[in-house]
Chains A and B, each alone.
Chain A
Amino acid sequence: MSRFLLRRVIELVIVFIGVTFIIYAAVFSLPGDPIASMGGDRPLPDNVVARLRAEYRLDEPLIMQYLHYLGGLLTFDLGTTYDGRSIADQLAARWPTTIALALTAWALELFIGVVLGLVAGLRYGTLTDRTILFVTVLATSIPVFVMGVSAQLIFGLELGWVPIAGTSEGWPQAYVLPALIVALYGLASASRLMRGSVVDTLRSDFVRTLVAKGMPSRQIVGVHVMRNSAAPVLTFLAIELGFLLGGTIVIEGIFNIHGVGGLLFDAIRTQQGPLVVGVATALILVFLVVNVLVDVLSSVLDPRIRHD
């Protein structure tokens, strides 16, 4: 296991350097000058532009800028934005919000997805099964901003059940609606995976034996089928958590939740290279760590999976 972990960590470092460089280069190659556009449609004086360009090394070649950035990272310095604000502070301010949203959405997705999948699997081939498939796929196919804005108008404006926007009312009121919408988009996959798994498990020999033995069906499903069907769904959901922590740009924007997704969006829009890489780096780390955890977990859950 330790060799396996070591290998994953080394891979992680390589992926990390490669990805950050690619992102850095991509932002660098965007058209337009990030400094010149800082003042909106009111251009900055030339001397200010020149000074800021020099201060943030924008006149140097890409590779030098990147190496300087990487050097900063080694001393845990994420750098500053072009108007001089600390990137680490901004990330620290945004993460709690995104984590709250992501975990809420994830919990909803897990709970609803597993329940729907189980029901569909147990009623395999019936009208219930088809209805669940139809509804979840339909939900997935509605564009997210349509869903978001409609939900805002219905639940926020007309019914007044939840706040329309912002997080000032705190968890859970302010997070329920956006989290539910985010969760809707993963439901089709989660419930399908669970359903398939349940159907397979129900047909397996050991379940047949349990039935023959006369075990109550509540216990068969609740204990044995559930446990044996959970592995693929958990793998999917673990990766899904990585996505969710990446922030959901559209939902965060519509619901005015100041999370990491919005920060990334603004950073790209204003061409703040170091900020884009800073956010992306944090996301990559989350993803890689989640991935390693999933690998470790799945080998623990299912001893047949070996990594050495």
Chain B
Amino acid sequence: MNTRTAVALGLGLAFAVTACGDSADDELEASDIDGSISMAVTEPEILIPGRQSVAFDFGMAVWSPLIYLELDGELNYIQAESVESDDQTTWTITLREGWTFHDGSPVTAQDYIDSWNAVAYGPNAFENSGQLANIVGFDDLNPAEGEPETDEMEGLNLVDELTFEVELVGPDSQFPVQLTQAQTALFPMPPSAFEDFDAYNEHPIGNGQFAMVDTYVESEPITVRAYEDYAGDPPNIGEITFVAYSDQVTAYTDALAGNIDVSGVPANRRTQAEDDFGADRNYNFEAPGMNHLGLPLWDERYDDIRVRQAISLAIDRETINDVVFGGAWEPATAWTPAVMPGTPEGICGEYCEYDPEAAAELLEEAGGFEGDMEIVFPGGSGQDDYYNAIANNIRQNLGIEAVAAPTVDWAEFAERRENAEIDGPFFSRWGALYPSQQATIREMYLETGGCTNCVPMYLPEIEEALAEADATGDESGEAYAAVHEILQENFPVVPMFFETYSYATSERVEELVTQPGGNPRLSHIVLVDED
């Protein structure tokens, strides 16, 4: 019998293969602080805070912000000792003494100025440079054509080793909130970073609670360990390992098996997460994400405000929330997320409630709706159930032939929306980086905002009301209610949901703590006592 030959051949191959296997189990030195956790993330690729797009959790571990925004809205001064201004335009930032980067060099005002200039400098093409756009001199570093003549922003001035001044293009009461943790482009980089950004990306050095242990190698886990000389409050745990997953569902299953401690809950597991993990290991964190149903205001069928209101009335947000999001989201009743201070919840009033009869009547008053309706959303993003449900509501309650139409991918969707090549309602959301209503309003309702055509109605009144609120407002955010009133009167977009971000944990985690960004606050995680 020839099985022997085959077995031998198989074993031979097996040995050949072993040589190619991974060897990532290097033993790491233990930290002084007990406890370590692992978190499932998307492959970050870019770790530099001025460039990253999916390395938030890593960034918040390795860097400390000037100010930490606490859950109750309090501004907790971390790296900054004070941030002050008399006129809301020129701000003086004073740093705390005795803080160091992980390479031992002190954190100085000059480091902040150099870092912000490098992020803003056009030829560097840093993806998150927009976070600095309101500083005087940003435009000089980003001329419409040609190379910039300078590499320094005029609006940044050194006062002494630990103090610098920032001049903004206009008064902005929310500037301190912009200095908080999720605006990663504002994190400081040490002098060594500027010599070679590629090298810095492989081994970023920050001023935060955790320092990177090894060099970053793509697709291998990233381990960060508590920084011994950290001048602020020490974290609860000594070590965090970020493990990249290409499929979120796999991460979810791995968390279920206890192989990974913290994982996001993918869209198609939302409804079963509580059954799988139990209520105390499944977390839904309020997030500064605002989910709208965008309307193609360039199409004259949507000119009549009653048509727009009718669409809003025809959608059963409660049921969609229960069926699609496992009840984790919150039906929207205003135009900015509820988590943002001062959001006037309920201002949308009757138009954000489900009332199919009123919807049908309103549409009839407006003269009905001609033709079919295609609800366009980015395909491959797991949102099919959500948009199918909206289409069903509109079809049943308004009698319009509505279908949900996914694009091939995100890129196609972004291009079509940007060029106004969509003739039906569409996906429109904005996840703000700092929980001030300003962040959402600025990006969604100003022509210069980042969310192009998310709400294609750019009213001068909104711009004025926003500028007014920015200049005169305070931390309560109540001044922004004026903007909501204008939106309510014009109804340019249908508010759908205040989003939450969902996480699940292994049995090792006693409590996962969040922060206003909706992400977990890993340094404050509480582990189950294992002794």
Contact A107 B13 (CB under 8 A): yes
Could you say which of A43, A103, A115, A168 contacts B16, with CB atoms under 8 Å apart?
A: A103
Could you say which of A170, A171, A253 contacts B247, with CB atoms under 8 Å apart?
A: A253
Which residues in B have their C-beta under 8 angstroms from that of A38?
Answer: 53, 127
Contact A45 B409 (CB under 8 A): no
Contact A163 B246 (CB under 8 A): no
Could you say which of A32, A164, A255, A265 contacts B259, with CB atoms under 8 Å apart?
A: A164
Could you say which of B10, B412, B413, B450 contacts A110, with CB atoms under 8 Å apart?
A: B10
Q: From known contacts A165-B259, A221-B1, infer whether A33 and B415 are also in contact, taking CB-CB under 8 Å.
A: yes
**Chain B stretch 22-48: residues in CB contact (< 8 A) with chain A:** 22-25, 43, 45-46
Q: Is A306 an interface residue (CB 8 A)?
A: no
Q: Is B279 an interface residue (CB 8 A)?
A: no
Contact A32 B409 (CB under 8 A): yes
Of B216-224, B358-366, B458-466, B473-481, the one touching chain A: B216-224
**Chain A stretch 61-85: residues in CB contact (< 8 A) with chain B:** 83-85
Which residues in A have their C-beta under 8 angstroms from that of B415?
Answer: 31-33, 36
Q: Is A196 an interface residue (CB 8 A)?
A: no
Which residues in B have their C-beta under 8 angstroms from that of A160?
Answer: 257
Q: Is A143 an interface residue (CB 8 A)?
A: no
Which residues in B have their C-beta under 8 angstroms from that of A153?
Answer: 253
Q: From known contacts A115-B3, A171-B20, infer whether A83 and B245 are also in contact, taking CB-CB under 8 Å.
A: no
Contact B125 A157 (CB under 8 A): no
- As a 0/1 sequence over residues 159 to 184 of chain A, the CB contacts with chain B under 8 angstroms (1 = contact) are 01001111111111011000000000
User: Taking CB as reference atom, which chain A residue is nearest B408?
Assistant: A31
Bound complex: CA A216 to CA B256 (Å):
56
Which residues in B have their C-beta under 8 angstroms from that of A165?
Answer: 245, 250-251, 253-254, 259
Known interface pairs A48-B125, A171-B21; 9 further A-B residue pairs with C-beta atoms within 8 A, sorted by A's residue number: A30-B412, A31-B415, A44-B127, A55-B125, A84-B198, A104-B14, A108-B10, A222-B1, A256-B250
Q: From known contacts A32-B409, A100-B17, A106-B13, infer whether A83 and B246 are also in contact, taking CB-CB under 8 Å.
A: no
- Chain B residues proximal to chain A, CB less than 8 Å: 1-3, 5-7, 9-10, 13-14, 16-18, 20-25, 43, 45-46, 51, 53-54, 122-123, 125-127, 129-130, 133, 142, 144, 198, 217-219, 221, 243-247, 249-251, 253-254, 256-257, 259, 380, 407-416, 418, 429-431, 450-452
Contact B1 A218 (CB under 8 A): yes
Give the interface centre of B246, B256, B452 by most chain A CB atoms within 10 Å.
B246
Range for the number of chain A residues in contact with chain B:
35 or more
A-B contact count (CB 8 A): 198
Bound complex: CA A31 to CA B487 (Å):
33
Q: Is A114 an interface residue (CB 8 A)?
A: yes
Contact B45 A254 (CB under 8 A): no
Q: From known contacts A32-B411, A100-B21, infer whether A93 and B217 are also in contact, taking CB-CB under 8 Å.
A: yes
Could you say which of B20, B253, B451 contacts A96, with CB atoms under 8 Å apart?
A: B20
Q: From known contacts A99-B20, A103-B17, infer whether A90 and B218 are also in contact, taking CB-CB under 8 Å.
A: yes
Contact B250 A255 (CB under 8 A): yes
> Shortest distance in angstroms between A200's beta carbon and chain B's nearest beta carbon?
17
Which residues in A have their C-beta under 8 angstroms from that of B130?
Answer: 44-45
Give the interface centre of B21, B53, B130 by most chain A CB atoms within 10 Å.
B21
Bound complex: CA A223 to CA B127 (Å):
65
Bound complex: CA A191 to CA B315 (Å):
55
Give the interface centre of A31, A149, A222 by most chain B CB atoms within 10 Å.
A31
Which residues in A have their C-beta under 8 angstroms from that of B451?
Answer: 43
Bound complex: CA A167 to CA B416 (Å):
39
> Shortest distance in angstroms between B135's beta carbon and chain A's nearest beta carbon?
14
Bound complex: CA A50 to CA B251 (Å):
36
Bound complex: CA A160 to CA B254 (Å):
11
Give the interface centre of A48, A51, A93 by most chain B CB atoms within 10 Å.
A48
Give the interface centre of B6, B23, B429, B452 by most chain A CB atoms within 10 Å.
B6
- As a 0/1 sequence over residues 269 to 285 of chain A, the CB contacts with chain B under 8 angstroms (1 = contact) are 11100000000000000
Q: Is A34 an interface residue (CB 8 A)?
A: yes
Contact B253 A152 (CB under 8 A): yes
**Chain A stretch 122-174: residues in CB contact (< 8 A) with chain B:** 149, 152-153, 156-157, 160, 163-172, 174
Could you say which of B7, B125, B247 contacts A256, with CB atoms under 8 Å apart?
A: B247
Bound complex: CA A202 to CA B250 (Å):
48
Which residues in B have their C-beta under 8 angstroms from that of A172?
Answer: 14, 17-18, 21
Q: Is A308 an interface residue (CB 8 A)?
A: no
Bound complex: CA A262 to CA B343 (Å):
42
Contact A114 B450 (CB under 8 A): no
- Can you give 13 contacting A-B residue pairs, CB < 8 Å? A31-B416, A40-B54, A44-B130, A47-B122, A85-B45, A85-B218, A93-B218, A104-B17, A156-B253, A165-B245, A170-B21, A253-B246, A256-B247
